[in-house]
Amino acid sequence: MDEYYMKLAIEEANKAAAIGEVPIGAIIVYKDEVIASAYNLRETTKNATTHAELLAIQEACNKLENWRLEETTLYVTLEPCPMCAGAILQSRIPRVVYGARDAKAGCVDSLYHLLNDSRFNHECDVTEGVLAEECGNLLTEFFRDLRAKKKNQKRQL
């Protein structure tokens, strides 16, 4: 079931790539129903907070009319950054499933373990590595294409 939902998160990430946004996607499942889906929109919105996870959390809070997202699972293609890990704690999401690790900014396993610190008033059950290769490849290919485009633009100048 985790792979099924992660594929939906990957579909979201692909929507980001299609408009030139770094391809990261997230969905939130509540009682076997997808109640929120979002992708990174930072460049489009010119708003630093519009990461996939944060947008999905805001949508889910609206949907459930509650800032506590109990009985939900968040699926995201990349390990959450400090902001998104913090938003997961704030919204009390009980379970988080992510695809690829983010060695540079990941705050679930890579740099910090923010979702499993007993000093905070919430901790999450975390599953990592679901479709990790596919999730990671999306990013690798996106940045490879971006570099190629920039190289071509320079040649044409």
| Residue 64, helix vs strand vs coil | helix
Q: How far apart are the first and last CA of the chain?
A: 50
**Residue 107 and residue 21: Cα distance in Å, rounded?**
21
**Whether residue 53 lies in the annotated active site:** yes
Q: Closest CB to a copy of itself among 105 and 126?
A: 105
Q: What's the closest the beta carbon of residue 60 comes to a copy of itself, in angstroms?
A: 9
Contact 71, 93 (CB under 8 A): no
Q: Is residue 113 annotated as involved in ligand binding?
A: no
Could you tell me how many residues make up the chain? 157
| Residue 122 among known ligand-binding residues | no
Q: Whole-number minimum distance, CB 89 to a copy of itself, in Å? A: 6
From the candidates 12, 21, 33, 53, which is the catalytic residue?
53
Residue whose CB is less far from a copy of itself, 8 or 89:
89
List residues bridging with 95 in a β-sheet: 73, 125
Provide the binding-site residues for a copy of itself, judged by CB under 8 A: 42-43, 45-51, 54, 57-58, 61-62, 65-69, 81-87, 89-92, 104-105, 107, 111-112, 114, 117, 119-121
Tokens of 129: 């590595």
Question: H or E segment at 98?
Answer: strand 95-100
135 is in an annotated binding site: no
Binding-site residue set? 51, 81, 84
Q: Which residues are annotated as a binding site for Zn(2+)?
A: 51, 81, 84
Give the catalytic positions in this structure: 53
